[in-house]
Amino acid sequence: MARVNTVLGAIAPEELGFVAVHEHIGYGMPGSELDTQWWKSPEQRYEETVPKLRLFHENGGGTFVDATGICNGRDIPYYQSLSEKTGVHIVACTGFVGGDTALKYFAEASVDYLRRQFVHEITVGIQGSAAKAGIIKVGVSRGFRMKELDLRIYRAAAQASLETGVPIFTHLAVDVEPALTIFAEEQLPLDRVLFGHADDGVSQGKVNQQAILAAGGRLGFDTFGYDLELPDPPFWGRHRDERLEHFLSLVRAGHVDQLLASADANCSPLGWPGVKGHTVNYLFEQLIPSLRDAGVDDATIHRIFVTNPAGFLTIDG
């Protein structure tokens, strides 16, 4: 039966509603939980997170996909309680944001070992819970070049995706050729892969978006809102109008069905202050009004935020 794994169990794809496809409840580098400077009480984490998810729900948001991989602060019981309290469906992920965030224990594992870890989290549960992962995260390590460990994780993810039907997110869409080779070798259809962060400021000029689109991949404009116009923008920021125009050029060129959009915001960052003034609700407060102003009709907006993510996240069979 067609379904999507959420932290509270599988749901029908029609129940997803509006999807923020790449977000974080809280993302931190491995080890940040040990740094006394950044310890947060449970009260503080709830206080920072619940209002954002409630507002997301009030704005019409249905599903929040948490793209925080293994080792980066993923916390299933906490996600379950947030979902119960706010009514927002939360999809959790297996996999790693990139090779350089995989702790030594996993960094030395074989492709087969990593595949079994991902499949277990998708079919049995994560961290001893019954919550099953709904996506697999992979990524390019710092430096914009795929490293050997990144490639091992990509191959394990491709095999786990074929075995379970769960789709793959990539952190960064740069150096895409080795990724395309692995997915082709494993015979994974590329509509099961979202090549993420195709829109961020530091990746521009390094993303072969034509190769991704031609191969049938999905392109993630998933850092919407990390604008250089913010008071203290991050290094991956980009001018708001430039990003929007880039997105619109692909909509106008007829690639809507291969586009996914999100904000990659942190509700309550772990081990870093986060980016002030940026939340998942940017999608409702800035992006959708900007799309409407640019003449994008409601049917197209529905495809971007409802139809496309449902097709992407659905596990068949």
- 190 or 265: CB nearest Zn ion: 265
Task: Please state at what angle helix 76-86 crosses helix 42-58, rounded to 10 degrees.
Answer: 40
Site string for Zn ion, 14-53 (x = CB under 5 A): ----------------------------------------
Question: Mind giving me the DSSP string for 9-40?
Answer: EEE-GGG--EEEEEEBS----TTGGG-GGG--
Stretch that binds Zn ion, among 33-41, 59-67, 205-213, 282-290 (CB under 5 A): 59-67
**What is the enclosing helix (H) or strand (E) of 167?**
none
> What's the min distance (Å) between Cβ of 221 and Zn ion?
13
> In angstroms, what is the minimal distance from the CB of 21 to Zn ion?
10
- Residue 284 and residue 61 in contact, taking contact as beta carbons nearer than 8 Å: yes
Q: In terms of CB distance, is 142 or 302 closer to Zn ion?
A: 142
- From the list 221, 175, 237, 273, the residue with the least C-alpha distance to 21 is 221
| Beta carbon of residue 168, minimum distance to Zn ion (angstroms, whole number) | 14
User: What is the number of the residue whose Cβ is closest to Zn ion?
Assistant: 264
Are 21 and 261 spatial neighbours (Cβ–Cβ below 8 Å)? Answer: yes
**8 Å CB contact between 68 and 24:** yes
Judged by beta carbon, residue 67 or residue 193, the one nearer Zn ion is 67
- The nearest distance, CB 110 to Zn ion, in angstroms, is 26
Residues that bind Zn ion (rule: CB under 5 A) add up to a total of 2
Contact 208, 233 (CB under 8 A): no
Which secondary structure element, helix H or strand E, spans residue 74, and what is its range?
none
Q: How far is the CB of 283 from Zn ion (least distance, A)?
A: 14
Residue 198 as a binder of Zn ion (CB under 5 A): the answer is no
Q: How many residues does the chain have?
A: 317
Of the pair 3, 137, the CB lying nearest Zn ion is at 137
CA dihedral in degrees (43, 53, 103, 182; nearest 10)? 170
Minimum CB distance to Zn ion, residue 68 (Å): 7
DSSP code at position 275: -
Single out the segment in contact with Zn ion by CB under 5 A; choices: 223-231, 257-265, 285-293, 297-305: 257-265
**CB neighbourhood size of 90 (10 A):** 24
For residue 140, give the DSSP letter.
P
Kindly write out the interface string for residues 66-105 of this chain, putting x where it contacts Zn ion by CB under 5 A and - elsewhere.
-x--------------------------------------
Pick 67 or 158: Cβ nearer Zn ion: 67
Report residue 248 as tokens.
Answer: 């619109």
Q: Which is nearer to Zn ion, 20 or 296 (CB)?
A: 20
- For Zn ion, the closer CB: 150 or 264: 264
264 binds Zn ion (CB under 5 A): yes
Shorter beta-carbon distance to Zn ion: residue 3 or 201: 201
CB 8 within 8 A of CB 80: yes
Binding site for Zn ion (CB under 5 A): 67, 264
